[in-house]
Chains A and B, each alone.
Chain A
Amino acid sequence: MSKQNESNDNELIIARKELAFQIKKKDKLAAKLIIAHNELAFQKDEKGKRAAELVIANEELTFQKEDKRKRAAELGIAYIELAFQVDEKEKRAAELGIANTEKGKRAAELVIAIEELTFQKEEKRKCVTELGIANIELAFQDEEKEKRAVELGIANKVLALQDEEKRKRAEELIIVNKELIFQNEEKEKRAAELGIANKELAFQNQEKEKRAAELIIANKELIFQNDEKEKRAAELGVANKELNFQNQEKEKRAAELIIANKELVFQNEEKEKRAAELIIANKELVFQNEEKEKRAAELSIANKELLAFTYISSHDMQEPLRKIQTFVSLILENENRNLSDNGKYNFQRIRLAAERMQQLIVDLLAFSRINTADHKFEKTKLRLIVEEIKTELKDAIQEKHATIESSKLCSANIIPFQFRQLLYNLISNALKFSNPAVSSKIMIKSRIVKGSGLNNENLSREKNYCHIIIKDNGIGFESHFSERIFGVFQKLHHKDVYGGTGIGLAIVKKIIENHKGIITATSELNKGATFDIYIPDDGIMLMPIDRVSKLSGKQKKNIDQIYPSIIKNK
């Protein structure tokens, strides 16, 4: 690479020298050219001067020609004069003839005239001489002119030659310039190559310096590494001593471990004994669970049977009752004329009693249903339930001219068929206990509210509740009865005044309990009644099966409660 640089350098030096030489040659040529130009200029001046002289000579010549013409003209005139003179002479001769006498005069005159003429001829001769001189002069001038012309021709030829020389020089100069341009291009190429070569060289140098620096760093690193290695060796010695100590410790531990293993083996045997006992216990438990599930299944079947039994029996019981009522009314209608007042009254009492029995059966059926059926919670739109109840009770609603306001109802997590029963009971109560003086207005609304927002110590502050309000404008009740009315078979009025078995609100309360909720009744006499229901809104799950036994216990208690009172009432 450096050799190439050297050769490049050499070429460049040679090129530069060549260029310098060329420049000098050019300068010389330029100087020659300048001299040639100066010579040319001088020649041009000379030519100019010659031309000017020629012009002057031509003017002189022209003037001389004019003069000659003038002289010629004068000569012409002189000739004409002469002719005239001759005429005159002739005249004179004539006259002479005439006047020979006068000859003497005229001779004298003639002599004068001849003298005159001679003078004239002299004059003419002068003129001719002058003219000859002038012509010589003119010829001389012409010769001079020709000389000048020849000189001018020569000068022009020289000038032409000079021009040729100048053109040749100019051509040479163009060639030299082209050569020079080419040389310059070569020089620039060389310079560019040299520049690249230099950059390469500089880059190489940088790389070399980087390597050198890296090498220094590597050396330092190596020295450092060696130091580290010596440190490690020292540490290793220390570690080995430590290791020996550890080995001794380990042997001690191994001995201890053997003892521990013996202990562990003993423990494992104990554990296996426990595991075997546990397996037996689990099998026992599985068996117990199966037994429990069998019981639960049996219980579920028993519940279904009970429900079916209750349903069928209530139906079968209602049939005879209905017939009693229908026959009684048939008799009353057909045998009206044949019966005494007492007889009619007795039959009516029979009918009433049968109606009561029927109502009791219906209510009992409803009550039993609440306990024995599946407790399946569903998120239900309360509005839909209320609409169904409105359809069922449409006759009673019409009769009481009642309006039921039920637009603000939300959804709640409830057992649908039980809740239907609940709302049916509450709404039919509201209709039953309406104020005859005013048209009945029943308002039902619900909303979700947090427990902390309600003023009830039985409600959890953190939970959400669905708060349902059923409010009527009926006859109401005294506020100290607000809990008693939920009792089974509790009525506040005589059965002849307001019908009913007194079980409706007990059913309502039972249903609320099934929903883990709370119901409160608020009222004042003749100021309507308000029932507030709070149901937890947290998605109660299906009742676990093992609670069913508890339930049947409660149910048993309820039936005990019912049956004695039925017996009592009788």
Chain B
Amino acid sequence: MSLKQLNILLADDDVDDSLFFKAALEGSSLSANFTTVSDGERLMHLLTNGTEELPDVLFLDLNMPRKNGFECLSEIKQNSKLKLLPVIVFSTSLEQEVVNQLYQNGAQYFIRKPPHFTQFKKIILQVLTIIAQGNLTQPVRENFVITLQSN
């Protein structure tokens, strides 16, 4: 299955996680332009400088230096040019208060970083398929967190 070329932006400070993401993309049959930024400040700078075209989707890690994912999400959703950008939040923890807060702030989906690579690939593919289909509205709260059954 080939979808159109997606511009994917990943904001994550962790080298290994970026590597996993890239490996997952390569392992799937999607063709995509993949860019990484390693902290929040660089992310906002990249999104707002106006020279580059906006990505189709942003995968946002929460724990980043200088400016964390929470702050970036708020800024993006308050920026009239950026608020339509679908933001998929990535995190290792799954605390309900945190997830609720992210849902309130307008993130599209929440993914807990799974420890199994296979799962990781499946989830990325699942989300990118949704994005590629142009389904950009925020889902209901029950469907906000994307999980796969643990193996």
Tell whether A and B belong to one assembly.
yes
Which stretch of B28-36, B48-56, B116-124 is in the interface? Answer: B116-124
Give the residue of A315, A321, A329, A398 whose beta carbon is less than 8 angstroms from that of B93. Answer: A315
* A318→B17 CA distance, assembly (Å): 14
Question: A203: CB under 8 A from chain B?
Answer: no
Which interface residue of A319, A326, A391, A395 has the most chain B CB atoms within 10 A? Answer: A326
User: Given A355-B115, A399-B149, does the pair A326, B120 have CB atoms closer than 8 Å?
Assistant: yes
Whether A391 and B142, one on each chain, are in contact in the complex, defined by CB atoms closer than 8 angstroms, is yes
Known: A391-B142, A395-B149. A326 touches B92 (CB 8 A): no
The reply to whether the CB of A481 lies closer than 8 angstroms to some CB of chain B is no
**B149 and A326: CB pair below 8 A?**
no
Q: A461 at interface (Cβ–Cβ under 8 A)?
A: no
Cross-interface CB contact of B118 among A323, A329, A355, A396, cutoff 8 Å: A329
B120, A322: Cβ atoms closer than 8 Å:
no
A386-413 vs B: 1/0 string, CB under 8 Å?
0010011011101100000000000000
Given contacts A329-B117, A330-B117, A322 and B23 within 8 Å (CB-CB): no
A523–B150 CA distance with the chains assembled, in angstroms: 28
> Which residues in A have their C-beta under 8 angstroms from that of B117?
326, 329-330, 332-333
B116/A325 in contact, CB under 8 A: yes
**Measured CA separation A399–B23 after assembly (Å):** 29
Number of B interface residues at 8 Å Cβ cutoff, please give it: 20
Chain B residues within an 8 Å CB radius of A322:
92, 113, 115
Interface size of A by CB at 8 A reads: 25
Shortest 3 CB-CB contacts between residues of A and residues of B? A325-B115, A329-B117, A330-B117
Interface residue ranges of A345-367 to B (CB < 8 Å): 354-355, 358
Chain A nearest CB: distance from B96 CB in Å?
A: 7
A325 to B150, CA, bound (A): 13
Q: Is the CB of A318 within 8 A of B147?
A: no
Find the A residue at minimum CB distance from B96: A388
Residues in chain A near residue B93, CB distance under 8 A: 315, 318
- With A and B bound together, what is the CA distance between A391 and B142 in angstroms? 7
**Contacts between chains A and B (CB distance < 8 A), count:** 47
Question: CA A319 – CA B20 in complex, angstroms?
Answer: 14
- How far apart sit A395 and B119, CA to CA, in the bound complex (Å)? 14
Q: Does B116 lie within 8 Å of A326, measured CB to CB?
A: yes
A79 interface contact, C-beta 8 A: no
- The CA of A244 and the CA of B89, in the complex, are separated in Å by 105
Q: Min CB distance, A322 to chain B, in Å? A: 5
Choose among A318, A394, A399 the residue that contacts B92 (Cβ–Cβ < 8 A): A318
Closest B-chain residue to A392, C-beta based? Answer: B96
Are B116 and A329 in contact (CB-based, < 8 A)? yes
CB interface residues, B 62-79, toward A, < 8 Å:
none
- A344 nearest CB across to chain B (Å): 14
Which B residues touch A327, using CB under 8 A? 16
Q: From residue A387, how far is it (CB to closest CB) to chain B in Å?
A: 10
CB-based contact B147/A333 at 8 Å: no
Q: What residue of chain B has the Cβ atom nearest to residue A398's Cβ? A: B149
Contact pick for B115, options A326, A395, A398, CB 8 Å: A326
Expressed in whole angstroms, the Cα–Cα distance for A100 and B14 within the complex equals 225
> A358 contacts B115, CB within 8 Å?
yes
7 pairs, A vs B, C-beta closer than 8 Å:
A318-B92, A323-B16, A325-B116, A330-B20, A391-B142, A392-B96, A395-B149
Look across to chain A and name the residue whose beta carbon is closest to the beta carbon of B91.
A315
Min C-beta distance of A38 to chain B, whole Å:
137
How far is the CB of B109 from the nearest CB of chain A, in Å? Answer: 15
Chain B residues 1-34 with CB under 8 Å of chain A are 14, 16-17, 20, 23
Query: What B residues does A396 contact at CB under 8 A?
Result: 149
User: Chain A residue with minimal CB distance to B20?
Assistant: A326
Shortest distance between the CB of B17 and any CB in chain A (Å): 8
| Chain B, range 100-151, C-beta contacts under 8 Å to A | 113-118, 120, 142, 147-150
B89 to chain A, nearest CB (A): 16
Shortest CB-to-CB span from A388 to chain B, Å, is: 7
A323-B149 Cα distance, complex, nearest whole Å: 19
Give the residues in chain A near B92, CB-CB below 8 Å: 315, 318-319, 322
CA distance A326 to B120 in the complex (A): 9
Name B15's closest neighbour in chain A (CB-CB): A323
Least distance between A313 CB and chain B CB atoms (Å): 13
**B12 → A minimal CB distance (Å):** 12
Q: How far is the CB of A547 from chain B (nearest CB, A)?
A: 27
A423 to B17, CA, bound (A): 33
List the A side residues contacting B142 at CB < 8 Å. Answer: 391, 394
Measured between beta carbons, the chain A residues less than 8 angstroms from B148 are: 395
Closest A residue to B120 by beta carbon equals A326
A323 proximity list for chain B (CB < 8 A):
16-17
Between A321, A322, A354, the greatest number of chain B beta carbons within 10 A of the residue's beta carbon is seen for A322
CA distance A325 to B114 in the complex (A): 9
Chain B residues with CB under 8 Å of A318's CB are 92-93
Smallest CB gap from B116: residue in A = A329
